[in-house]
């Protein structure tokens, strides 16, 4: 366990998490950034590209600014790397709504939220973990509005 000194005290560096923010329209993540919290903090959308998966690598994504144009998107580094798992999505305008969408692990390479039916609204949060050299497993909660639609894509 390593300790680091901050102006207001001491913290355990192994518990300190890297936050990736203010990246512009696109950002390719690096393997050594595994464990990072990646913010969707741009109303005009952000596209994060995952690195080539190494088993155990993980990234978490959080929407801090709702997307109003383009999309908040996470895509794999190659067309031979896939998303597997699923997300729960709720409609922020109707308290009793909800749906579950699955990434099939064989054709889905991205999750894309356009700010309405496919998610991308404030507070959305999900994590991707590499379980092989060709698959990332996803789980989390997405927030949409209107008739909810599948956010997983083949491109």
Handedness of CA 134, 138, 143, 147 (dihedral sign): positive
pLDDT for 4: 57
The pTM (predicted TM-score) of the whole model is 0.89
Give CA–CA dist 74/111, Å, rounded: 5
Nearest alpha-carbon partner for 116 in 144, 153, 74: 144
pLDDT for 117: 92
Strands (E), 41-119: 46-49, 58-63, 72-75, 82-91, 99-104, 110-113
Pairing of strands 19-20, 3-6: unpaired
pLDDT for 1: 52
Give CA–CA dist 53/132, Å, rounded: 7
Pairing of strands 82-91, 99-104: antiparallel
Q: How do the pLDDT tens digits run along the chain, 155 residues long? A: 555 565 666 656 566 899 999 999 999 999 999 999 999 999 999 999 999 999 999 999 999 999 999 999 999 999 999 999 999 999 988 766 789 999 999 999 999 999 999 999 999 999 999 999 999 999 999 999 988 999 999 99
């Amino acid at each position: 366990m390593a300790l680091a000194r901050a102006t207001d005290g001491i913290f355990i560096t192994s518990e300190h998490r890297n936050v990736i923010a203010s990246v512009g329209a696109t950002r390719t993540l690096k393997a050594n950034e595994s464990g990072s919290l990646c913010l969707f903090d741009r109303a005009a959308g952000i596209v994060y590209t995952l690195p080539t998966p190494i088993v155990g690598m993980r990234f978490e994504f959080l929407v801090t600014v709702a997307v109003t144009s383009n999309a908040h998107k996470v895509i794999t580094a190659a067309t031979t790397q896939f998303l597997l798992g699923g997300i729960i999505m709720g409609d922020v305008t109707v308290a009793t709504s909800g749906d579950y969408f699955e990434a099939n692990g064989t054709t889905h390479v991205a999750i894309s939220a356009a700010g309405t039916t496919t998610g991308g609204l404030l507070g959305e949060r999900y994590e991707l973990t590499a379980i092989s050299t060709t698959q990332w497993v996803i789980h989390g909660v997405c927030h949409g509005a209107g008739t909810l639609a599948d956010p997983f894509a083949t491109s």
